[in-house]
Amino acid sequence: MAYTFLDQMRKENIVRFGADVGPAQPDRHFDPARADLKNSALRFIHDRCEKLNFRDDAPYSGRSSEPRQIPYDMEMDVERLCLERELEKFIDSGAADDAYNVYYCYLEMFFGCYGKSKKMVELLSEYESNGSSLLMKHRDHYSHSVYVFALGLAVYERNSAYRRAFKEFYGLDPDEENAESDREAACLFLEYWGLTSLFHDIGYPFELPFEQVLSYFETDGIRRGKGAVYMAYRDLNSLTDVPEAAKRRFGELFGREFSSLVDVFAFDIARTIGKEYGASENELAETIARKPTSPETFGYYMDHAWFSAMRLFRELAETPEGASSLTPFHVNALSAILMHNSLFKFAIANKKPDVPLKMRLQPLAYLLMLCDELQCWDRIAYGRNSRRELHPSAAEFDLSGGSIRATYFFDSAERDKIEDFERSIAEWRQSGCAGEEPRLKAYSDMVGGRFRKDIERIVDTSSAPLSVVADVRAADRKSKHTYLSSSSFMHLYDFAVALNARYLYGGNEDKVSPELLEEKFEALSLEYQLSNINQAKSFSAYLNAIDCFYTDKPVDCEEIVKFSPAQTEVFAPMEHKRWVLEHISMGWRYGDEYESLPLPEGESLAEGESMYSKRKAFREQMRRHKLAMDGEPDDAQIKAHYDALPETEKGKDYEPFNSMLKLIKKFDGLRIYKL
């Protein structure tokens, strides 16, 4: 039973209420027999991660629509279901705002509060989309990181050799028959692989200015190297110093107190792979220390991985509670991030260039370098040269039997580039291979085998045999759900906070401080926060349907300050459809028993508690709703369901958006315009 506490709650409710009132097990959204990326990643979350983050806690201490409505472990089951559903949506779409939801789930589940860490991930997306077009070469790293996360889950799910290596490295029983050890390992892997993969590129905002300076001079024909103007970083103590609480924690873990993160990472890398590559702790410390300060000694390149590791450590250890909870897993994850870009390839493995990294030596670093290389499809090209290259628009994976068979698809609309390349390669061969071999990155690398060989030089694929095929087909971009409305990802969170305020303050939202609105939003469970976020994300589609859009730029169009009845008649049914399908996906069922069943025997109202709030709690405990729909209703059935609603219920589908117009204008400077 994948969601064990939901099943336990159902059995308890049968006893409490004398009837089977739920909650029901959510439907599977994957085929467990298919070994592709999506089905493998979802199967991992659904089947292997039972009891994720469970703990013995006071009864009904968990959050749902309000605090203390459901058991804590039931909330944890629903959170895992949220992650499963949001990852499914991202794999289907590849859209950046769906990647946002995966980040949101992870931070809420393992960091405890998205709001405290949102700038860490949002800045990467904003920096790339706004500044990367100034570069010669650059592609997306925001959605890329979520793809890497999903690919790693799929590899873990399908590759028994990797699971064994991971368990043995961290001292867990590798016997697959030991179900409890297997479950524990999977839950640990989800947490620390998520940390490694989702945040491995958050240091790019430090690398991008470096590249922008070089790019400016490259336009005048000055090549990267001696004579080029470049940046270097100074006064890095704020990133590298180890706080006192973390020093004490490292002393407990390793028997040593480190004053600098440089020394922490040198120690960790030396003890895991140093012997294999003849890299001493002192040598590693000296190399790591030079990364940001002397880029000329690394081919005039700045290493974003260095900043990713340092920045993420600060996020983990800023508070005394964070420092006291640090584990060797955290250090391994940070070391993996530090190594993934260039440190391993050009400063460690260069001593033994024919010895690729084995998974048993450092499983997280191994998997990050493997998946980081494999994830080269569906990435927005920002740089000037990158936009002229030909990169795969889609990919399919067969991970059965522990192998990795990847097929990369190039857009058939770019056939002219392929034909030009094929002509040039034919002419080169006819000339006796004189001069440099023509290339069309990344198509020629896929076709010629360079791509696979480059990966095999980095990581040992003997336990994960790799094959790569290139193919051509029409690119499908419909899933991106892109509309004219545009703003930053930072607004998604604020939109969601504003929408939630509509239900709390009934028309007086603009008189409430942003801090209080955010505090109320953070009191919701992850499921309800995501529902508000998904409602906010749908706003651009609703505006598109009524020939409107939002932007933070002044434009010469008619501004909308309130939606008309005719406009709401268009998008209110769309919002109802979103709500119905969301609830079906999350395992909610139709039912109104919570409105009439008497208090279970032995239960009573707490001091100050009303019967109304008690019945709201029953609804959350049963996961039944009088407005929900069962089965797989089509558009016509959902529209008929909407039409039959009382006017007060219909108002819930459009009134929040009128409220939001005032809030986003006040707090975010966004305006709504009519085309």
Measuring CA to CA, which residue among 618, 623, 620 is closest to residue 589? 623
Q: In which residue are the tokens 């698809």 written?
A: 409
Mention every residue, 6+ apart, whose C-beta is less than 8 A from residue 217: 228, 229
Please say whether the beta carbons of 533 and 490 come within 8 A: no
State the helix-helix crossing angle for 490-505 and 526-545, rounded to 10 degrees: 100
H, E, C per residue of 47-69: HHCCCCCCCCCCCCCECCCCCCC
- For residue 137, what pLDDT is reported? 54
Lowest mean pLDDT across 32-46, 54-68, 92-106, 207-221: 207-221
Mention every residue, 6+ apart, whose C-beta is less than 8 A from residue 178: none
Lowest mean pLDDT across 62-76, 492-506, 531-545: 492-506
pLDDT at 97 over 50: yes
Lowest mean pLDDT across 18-27, 95-104, 137-146, 439-448: 137-146
Q: What is the pLDDT of residues 322-336, one digit of tens each?
A: 888 899 999 999 999
What is this structure's pTM?
0.94
- For residue 652, what pLDDT is reported? 83
H, E, C per residue of 153-192: HHHHHHCHHHHHHHHHHCCCCCCCCCHHHHHHHHHHHHHH
Instruction: Tell me the range of 220-234, 426-440, 525-539 where mean pLDDT is highest.
Output: 525-539
| Overall average pLDDT of the 178-204 stretch | 95
Q: What is the pLDDT of residues 612-629, one digit of tens each?
A: 999 999 999 999 999 999
The token duo for 191 is 């947490």
H, E, C per residue of 76-97: HHHHHHHHHHHHHHHHHHCCHH
pLDDT at 491 over 70: no
Cα gap 373→308, rounded to integer Å: 18
Please say whether the beta carbons of 671 and 665 come within 8 A: yes
Q: Between residues 618 and 649, which one has the greater pLDDT? A: 618
Please say whether the beta carbons of 420 and 481 come within 8 A: no
Lowest mean pLDDT across 60-69, 295-304, 547-556: 547-556
SS3 content of the chain, % helix, strand, coil (to 5): 60, 5, 35
- For residue 130, what pLDDT is reported? 56
Ramachandran region, residue 487 (left: φ > 0; alpha: ψ -120 to 50; beta: rest): beta
Bond preceding residue 442 cis, omega within 30 of 0: yes
Lowest mean pLDDT across 66-80, 250-264, 313-327, 658-672: 658-672
- For residue 555, what pLDDT is reported? 84
- For residue 627, what pLDDT is reported? 96
Please say whether the beta carbons of 137 and 386 come within 8 A: yes
Measuring CA to CA, which residue among 54, 39, 134, 21 is closest to residue 91? 39
DSSP assignment string, 211-268: HHHHHHHHTTTPPSSTTS--------HHHHBPPHHHHHHHHHHHS---SBHHHHHHHH
Instruction: Give Cα separations from 599 to 5, 65, 122, 222, 623 (angstroms).
Output: 22, 20, 46, 79, 17
Mention every residue, 6+ apart, whose C-beta is less than 8 A from residue 405: 397, 398, 399, 467, 469
- For residue 504, what pLDDT is reported? 65
Lowest mean pLDDT across 102-106, 111-115, 196-200, 313-317: 111-115
pLDDT at 399 over 50: yes
Q: Between residues 136 and 4, which one has the greater pLDDT? A: 4
- Altogether, the residues listed in the chain come to a count of 675
pLDDT at 382 over 60: no
Q: Between residues 354 and 465, which one has the greater pLDDT? A: 465
- For residue 136, what pLDDT is reported? 47
Measuring CA to CA, which residue among 631, 626, 632, 623 is closest to residue 21? 623
| Overall average pLDDT of the 454-460 stretch | 97
The token duo for 119 is 């700038």
Beta partners for 404? 466
pLDDT at 12 over 50: yes
Burial class of residue 76 in the structure, from the number of CB atoms within 10 Å of its CB (0-12 exposed, 13-18 middle, 19+ buried): buried
Q: What confidence tier does 490 reach under pLDDT thresholds 50, 70, 90?
A: low
Beta partners for 469? 407
The letter for the amino acid at 265 is: F
Lowest mean pLDDT across 25-29, 484-488, 497-501: 484-488
Please say whether the beta carbons of 297 and 385 come within 8 A: no
Mean pLDDT, the chain, integer: 89
Q: What is the pLDDT of residues 23-49, one digit of tens each?
A: 999 999 999 999 999 999 999 999 999
pLDDT at 157 over 50: yes
- For residue 381, what pLDDT is reported? 60
Q: What confidence tier does 239 reach under pLDDT thresholds 50, 70, 90?
A: very high
Bond preceding residue 71 cis, omega within 30 of 0: no
- For residue 653, what pLDDT is reported? 81
| Residue 627, phi then psi, degrees to nearest 5 | -100, 0
Instruction: Give Cα separations from 13 to 26, 372, 593, 606, 622 (angstroms).
Output: 17, 46, 12, 19, 8
Q: What is the dihedral of CA 292, 296, 300, 305, to 10 degrees?
A: -20
pLDDT at 205 over 80: yes
Q: What is the pLDDT of residues 410-421, one digit of tens each?
A: 999 889 888 888
Cα gap 344→357, rounded to integer Å: 9
pLDDT at 409 over 70: yes
The letter for the amino acid at 573 is: P
Please, what is the end-to-end C-alpha distance for the chain in angstroms? 51
